[in-house]
């Protein structure tokens, strides 16, 4: 059996001999068997392992299988299939088990052929669940990524900004934001065409991304030709250094822009804001960085300005 078809089965049974028999069968089928002789060990195993199937005796002392199933369903959001094992095959007993949250019922002594079929059915369910989870992860990535530049999109930026804001507030560390705009991008598009304009956006995004070095830092496409860089745990002085570095490295890439009145290569204007400036919300932080960016463009572009009580040009 391939490891992709292997599942982890938790056998909850107060009879040690029966528990060993069932675990031996599960392992003989190529799966992982975990043991628990009651509710305490059951929860210990569930906390320590990712279980895909539970085989549970109903008639156990202290906490029986029906009550334990109710507790499991209440505690865990993830649905774990539960198959009851019992020598009592009365309809009323079966109904109680299913109503408690059980999925199936096998009478003892358990026939190997029937248990084999039940486990194989659960393997198919577990495989489909893994495939669904992978698809959901890919979809989640797509919904949070700008399809053109492959950096975070605006939705992902809003989420990450909130997370960074609350993290830095909680541990009393600064959070800096860079708002970046490609200078004279409309002129670039008009002259070179939209296809080349898209290539320019991808090149700028790549240059910025390659020079955002720390795992905690992130970059997003804010919209159009604007990008945002989040720098948690970064003071204003270090944010200035990073802004100058990004601007310099992009200019050194020498992406031709003969229609720019500022330079004959693609350049960027940057606005900086930091939480050290007595900012009261992450929305205010972004707005202040945007105000500083606006001032950079008013001043002639290809420069960086910092938002303070009065916006200060630094380059």
Question: 156: which 2 tokens?
Answer: 């992902």
HEC profile for 247-277?
Answer: HHHHHHHCCECCCCCCCCECCEEEEEEEHHH
Our separate counts of H helices and E strands in the chain read 10, 11
Q: Please report where in the chains the tokens 């096998």 appear, as a residue.
A: 106
Q: Distance between CA atoms of 74 and 66, rounded to whole angstroms?
A: 13
Question: 13: which 2 tokens?
Answer: 């049974």
DSSP codes joined into one string, 201-226: HHHHHHHHHHT--STT-EEEEEETTE
Whether residue 51 contacts residue 29, with contact meaning beta carbons closer than 8 Å, is answered with: no
225 catalytic? Reply is yes
Contacts of 279 (CB under 8 A, 6+ apart): 273, 285, 288
Q: Which of 87, 273, 311, 269 is nearest to 182 (CA)?
A: 269
Q: Distance between CA atoms of 200 and 255, rounded to whole angstroms?
A: 8
Question: 73: which 2 tokens?
Answer: 């369903």
User: Looking at 44, 67, 215, 225, which residue is catalytic?
Assistant: 225
Question: 206: which 2 tokens?
Answer: 């790549």
Question: 16: which 2 tokens?
Answer: 């040690």
Catalytic residues: 225
């Amino acid at each position: 059996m391939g490891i992709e078809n292997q599942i982890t089965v938790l056998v909850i049974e107060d009879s040690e001999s029966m528990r060993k028999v069932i675990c031996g069968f599960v392992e003989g089928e190529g799966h992982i068997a975990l043991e628990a002789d009651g509710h305490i060990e059951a929860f210990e195993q569930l906390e320590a392992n990712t279980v895909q199937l539970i085989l549970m005796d109903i008639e156990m002392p202290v906490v029986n299988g029906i009550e334990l199933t109710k507790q499991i369903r209440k505690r865990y959001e993830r649905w774990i299939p539960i198959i009851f094992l019992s020598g009592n095959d009365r309809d009323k007993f079966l109904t109680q088990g299913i109503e408690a949250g059980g999925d199936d019922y096998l009478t003892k002594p358990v026939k190997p052929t029937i248990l084999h079929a039940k486990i194989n059915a659960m393997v198919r369910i577990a495989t489909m669940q893994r495939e669904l989870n992978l698809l959901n992860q890919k979809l989640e990535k797509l919904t949070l990524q700008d399809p053109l530049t492959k950096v975070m999109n605006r939705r992902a930026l809003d989420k990450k900004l909130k997370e960074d804001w609350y993290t830095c507030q909680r541990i009393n560390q600064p959070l800096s934001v860079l708002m970046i705009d490609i200078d004279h991008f409309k002129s670039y598009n008009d002259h070179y065409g939209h296809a080349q304009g898209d290539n320019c956006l991808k090149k700028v995004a790549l240059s910025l991304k390659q020079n955002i070095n720390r795992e905690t830092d992130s970059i997003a496409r804010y919209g159009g030709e604007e990008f945002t860089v989040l720098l948690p745990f970064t003071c204003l002085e270090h944010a200035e250094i990073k802004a100058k570095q990004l601007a310099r490295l992009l200019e050194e890439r020498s992406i031709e822009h003969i229609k720019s009145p500022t330079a004959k290569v693609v350049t960027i204007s940057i606005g900086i804001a930091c939480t050290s400036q007595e900012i009261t919300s992450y929305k205010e932080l972004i707005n202040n960085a945007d105000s500083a960016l606006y001032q950079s463009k008013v001043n002639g572009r290809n420069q960086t300005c910092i938002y303070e009580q009065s916006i200060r040009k630094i380059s």
